[in-house]
C-alpha cells in the first residue's frame, strides 16, 4: 500500500469522524478523496460515494431511530421523489452524457472534468451553508405541517443533484425539512440521515447495472468510514460539533477552489 492509499483510507476515516461530529458534511469529501488520492474514475467515484454515504447515513439513522428522533412520515414524503430522481439520474442521465462535451479555445471539456467542476460548485454552495451556520434556527417542538408540492419538488432536485455528484445533500435537505415541514432542528438532522440513506443506496443500485464495482475496495473503504462515525460520535462528547462546522465549511470551500483550479489547469 503506497502513501496515497494510506492517505485515502485516512480520508475515509475522516469522512466518518466529520459525520459523527457534526451530523453531515463529511460525504462532500468522498469524491475528491476517491479521485485524487485513490485515482478512481470520477463517474465511478460518484457511484462509490453513494454507497459510502448511504451506509454511513444508515448507521446514523438507526441510532436516531432508537432515540425516537426520526419523523417517518416526513422521511417518506421526501424520500420517494428523491430516490426515484437519483435512481433515474444514475441509470439513465449520467450514462447518457457524452465523453467529450465541448471545446473552449484549445481546452476540451470532457464528461469527467464537467462532473468534477459541477461537484466543486456544489462544494462551494455547501461550504457557504456551513460557514453561515444558522445557529438561530429553533430547536423547539412545533406542529409539523407539510407543504407537499414544495417537499416533492425539493426531493426531486436533491435526488438529481445527489445522482450527479454522489454527495448526500444534507445541506439542502435539512433547511427544507425545517422550512417546509416545520421540523425542529434535531428531528430535521435525524430525519435527513434516513432520507440520505434511502436515496443514496437506491441510487447506487442504478450503478450496479452500468458499472463494474470493485466490491473488496468499496466495502473496505466504507468499513473504515463507519469506524470513523463511531469515533466521531465518541468525540462529540468532548467537542462541540457546531464550533467545528464553520471551520470545516472553510476547509470545504478551499477544497472546492482547489478542484476548480486542478481541473482547469
User: pLDDT tens digit string along 131-166?
Assistant: 876 554 555 555 656 677 888 888 888 888 888 877
- C-alpha to C-alpha distance for 162 and 229, rounded to whole angstroms: 21
The CA distances from residue 169 to 47, 54, 147, in Å, are 15, 11, 20
Residue 150 has a pLDDT of 82
The tally of domains found in the chain comes to 1
Cell numbers representing residue 205 in the block: 443500485
Write out residues in the chain with pLDDT < 50, as ranges: 136
Residue 90 has a pLDDT of 86
User: pLDDT tens digit string along 221-254?
Assistant: 999 999 988 888 788 778 766 667 777 788 889 9
Domain that holds residue 132: 3-264
- C-alpha to C-alpha distance for 80 and 15, rounded to whole angstroms: 26
Asked if 213 and 104 count as a contact pair (C-beta separation under 8 A), the reply is no
Question: Residues with Cβ < 8 Å from 106, sequence gap 6 or more?
Answer: none
Residue 60 has a pLDDT of 83
> Angle of helix 111-132 relative to helix 241-264, nearest 10 degrees?
150
Residue 242 has a pLDDT of 66
Residue 39 has a pLDDT of 92
Residue 10 has a pLDDT of 93
Of 152, 245, 138, 151, the closest CA to residue 183 belongs to 138
Amino acid at each position: 500500500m503506497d502513501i496515497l492509499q494510506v492517505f485515502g483510507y485516512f480520508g475515509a476515516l475522516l469522512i466518518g469522524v466529520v459525520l459523527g461530529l457534526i451530523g453531515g458534511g463529511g460525504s462532500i469529501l468522498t469524491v475528491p478523496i476517491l479521485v485524487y488520492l485513490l485515482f478512481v474514475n470520477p463517474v465511478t467515484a460518484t457511484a462509490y460515494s453513494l454507497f459510502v454515504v448511504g451506509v454511513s447515513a444508515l448507521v446514523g439513522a438507526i441510532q436516531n431511530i432508537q432515540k425516537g428522533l426520526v419523523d417517518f412520515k416526513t422521511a417518506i414524503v421526501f424520500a420517494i421523489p428523491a430516490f426515484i430522481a437519483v435512481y433515474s439520474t444514475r441509470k439513465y442521465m449520467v450514462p447518457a452524457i457524452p465523453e467529450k462535451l465541448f471545446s473552449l479555445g484549445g481546452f476540451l471539456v470532457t464528461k469527467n472534468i464537467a462532473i468534477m467542476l459541477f461537484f466543486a460548485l456544489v462544494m462551494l454552495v455547501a461550504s457557504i451553508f456551513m460557514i453561515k451556520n444558522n445557529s438561530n434556527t429553533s430547536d423547539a417542538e412545533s406542529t409539523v405541517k407539510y407543504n407537499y408540492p414544495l417537499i416533492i419538488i425539493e426531493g426531486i432536485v436533491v435526488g438529481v443533484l445527489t445522482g450527479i455528484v454522489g454527495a448526500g445533500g444534507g445541506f439542502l435537505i435539512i433547511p427544507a425539512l425545517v422550512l417546509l415541514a416545520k421540523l425542529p432542528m434535531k428531528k430535521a438532522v435525524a430525519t435527513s440521515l434516513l432520507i440520505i440513506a434511502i436515496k443514496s443506496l437506491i441510487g447506487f443500485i442504478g450503478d450496479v447495472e452500468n458499472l463494474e464495482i470493485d466490491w473488496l475496495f468499496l466495502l473496505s473503504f466504507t468499513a473504515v468510514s463507519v469506524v470513523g462515525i463511531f469515533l466521531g460520535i465518541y468525540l462529540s462528547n468532548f467537542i462541540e460539533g457546531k464550533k467545528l462546522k464553520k471551520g470545516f465549511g472553510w476547509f470545504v470551500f478551499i477544497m472546492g477552489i482547489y478542484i476548480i483550479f486542478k481541473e482547469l489547469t
